[in-house]
Amino acid sequence: MTPESPSAVQDGAMERPRIVALTSAGVPIHATFARLVDALRRAGAEVRPVPVPSGPQATEDRLPPRLADLKAGLQSLAQQMGDVLRGAAVPPGAPADWLVSLLSAVEGPVHGVIATDPRVAARVFGTVGQVWPDAVRVAVDGDFHIDPEWERVPMDELVTPHPALGHEIARVRDRYARLSSGGPIVGGDTVAARHLDGDRPQIVVSFARLDAGDVDPLLLQLSLVRPGEHQLLLLPSGRLGVDELVRTRAGGYGLTARRPRPGADPEPWIRGAALLLGRPSPFEAAAAVAARVPQVLFTQGGALDGGDAFLVQHGLAVHASAAITVAVEAEALLPGGTARAAFEQAAVAVELDGVSGCADAVLAAVAAGRPAPPDLGYAAPDAAPEDDLEVIGGEARAMPAQMNDRVRRAYVREIILQQRDLEKQLSRARAGRDTWSRRARLATQASDSELGREAAVRAEGLQRIVARLEARLADVEGLRERIAGRRPISAADREAASRLLSAETAAALDAVDRSAQSEAFDRLELDDELARLKRRMDGGPTA
């Protein structure tokens, strides 16, 4: 289905759908958002974009503000209230009630609310039901890298470019939200490919998610990829230090390249490429998939995130985890390379319907209405005090468990401390091994067999310690990754983590709980101050 021929609106099964499209106020409209709005309108929907102020975000690591800080802003808040009532923009950081006011300003019925930015959705989706109880809240992730921020969004449906994506989101996994596919949201065939002069294949290099330390190894490998047989285009990263490093170092590796100006659309250049190389942004990677351009993803030993891993698993990209493999992987994927045919087959096998398919998925979600609570396959037990009892020890050791976020962070801090200690021990063990290995060589050169045997025994013993420490460090690093995630903790990981929680950390958690109680009283006082302010604005008594 092409963007020029969108589907009709549900064959007249419902009135013309009216959709509120949320975007962030004060920042340029992203191309993904604009394309989706345009596709929905061409498919027959009435779309009302609503910019949402960002304001300060309440994060899990930040305690509530002090009462004195909140009282200090009451007078300016009163002025902002008046501005809003007169039709001015909602002030950044306004209370949640102003989200209700913002949404209520949209006249007429609303059948659906969409967002492509999870941070915007997290601010607004929880309030949608207060204004439009039946509106379907649709989260749209326009590329293959599902943003983990969707985890905290109370959505009704998630639209992703591929049906294999999105299951990791808890609301989808637990069937409180539906999952459908459509996308990716890139320009696709409507964007003309751009080429550098000449007939040589064009390699486009992205530094979007590469660190400064990755620049030199990558430039060296680029100098080894069929020198003189291709043209090189380097995309700007948008980070001054990395871009300046690329500019100053490329010539030293014998490279001649071009680079678009910052802010230029990279998609035309990607569509004209024979290969996309480096660590592209999610949008750049999605554009390459849509244009059937192979990718070499370069990371220096780091694990791939979920989106990159998806591309590798489906044959749409290869992973070069060490710099020395970049040139080899690139040559294999260039036209005529040994891996090119396999990639072309994989690219055809992945069915994508672009922005029009994404718009169809949104309209289908709106037509379906809000999902019913899931049937979990068993009857709810009668409410009784013992039903709320937590199992401690014994059977609990065999059960996966959810973990309070504060407790989870405490465990992660303890794991990091142990990881650093292991790294120090490993460094000392390696230094000792190297010292005794050198002594063994010196004794051998001096024909002193007794000293040589003694030194060799010491070196072998230290090597065994090094191997054990390396294995232990790998276990701790893996445990850290799993505890830091959002999934339930397995029984084995819970058991391993439980040995790390110190009494001091437990006491710190208790102190946080006590401070949270005092903050609750501060909130009550603040509510009283706001109520008195409202009465004063209305001309009533303030007592």
What single string gives the DSSP state of each residue in 395-411? GGGGS-B---HHHHHHH
On whether the pTM is more than 0.75, the answer is no
**CATH among 3.90.850.10, 3.40.50.10860, 3.40.50.970, 3.40.50.2000 for 189-349:** 3.40.50.2000
Distance CA 159, CA 360 (A): 10
Query: How many C-beta atoms lie closer than 10 Å to residue 476's C-beta?
Result: 19
The pLDDT tens digits for 254-296 are 888 999 988 889 999 999 999 999 999 999 999 999 999 999 9
Strands 46-52 and 18-24: parallel
Instruction: Yes or no: say if 108 and 77 are a contact pair by the CB < 8 Å rule.
Output: no
Distance CA 195, CA 291 (A): 14
pLDDT at 119 over 80: yes
pLDDT for residue 525: 59
The pLDDT tens digits for 55-66 are 544 333 333 444
In eight-state DSSP terms, residue 51 is E
C-alpha torsion sign, points 192, 196, 200, 201: negative
Distance CA 541, CA 503 (A): 52
What are φ and ψ of residue 389, in 5° steps? Answer: -80, 140
Instruction: Yes or no: say if 422 and 472 are a contact pair by the CB < 8 Å rule.
Output: yes
In angstroms, what CA-CA distances link 303 with 111, 283, 322, 467? 41, 20, 11, 21
C-alpha torsion sign, points 533, 534, 536, 542: negative
Q: Which range is least confidently modeled, 10-19, 35-44, 142-151?
A: 10-19
Q: Region 368-375: what's the mean pLDDT?
A: 81
Q: Which range is least confidently modeled, 118-127, 373-382, 485-494?
A: 373-382
Q: Region 326-336: what's the mean pLDDT?
A: 92
The pLDDT tens digits for 406-427 are 677 777 777 888 788 888 888 8
What are φ and ψ of residue 203, in 5° steps? Answer: -100, 125
Residue predicted with more confidence, 59 or 303: 303
Tokens in use for 264? 């230029």
pLDDT for residue 398: 52
Query: How many C-beta atoms lie closer than 10 Å to residue 502's C-beta?
Result: 12
Q: Is 2 helix (H, G, I), strand (E, B) or coil?
A: coil
Distance CA 378, CA 43 (A): 41
Instruction: Yes or no: say if 117 and 26 are a contact pair by the CB < 8 Å rule.
Output: no
pLDDT for residue 402: 61
Q: Region 421-450: what's the mean pLDDT?
A: 88
pLDDT for residue 139: 97
What burial class does residue 234 get, using C-beta atoms within 10 Å of its C-beta: 0-12 exposed, 13-18 middle, 19+ buried? Answer: buried
Q: Which range is least confidently modeled, 192-196, 311-315, 450-454?
A: 450-454
% residues pLDDT > 70 (the chain): 74
Domain ranges of the chain: 10-56+92-184+361-368, 189-349, 395-498
Type of residue found at 540:
G
Tokens in use for 508? 């710190």
Q: Is 136 helix (H, G, I), strand (E, B) or coil?
A: strand
Distance CA 251, CA 354 (A): 39
Q: Across all residues in the chain, what is the average pLDDT?
A: 80
Alpha helices in 351-502 (DSSP H): 354-368, 405-445, 449-484, 491-498
Residue predicted with more confidence, 234 or 54: 234
pLDDT for residue 520: 53
Tokens in use for 29? 């409209």
C-alpha torsion sign, points 87, 90, 96, 100: positive
* CATH no. of 10-56+92-184+361-368: 3.40.50.11460
What are φ and ψ of residue 19, in 5° steps? Answer: -125, 130
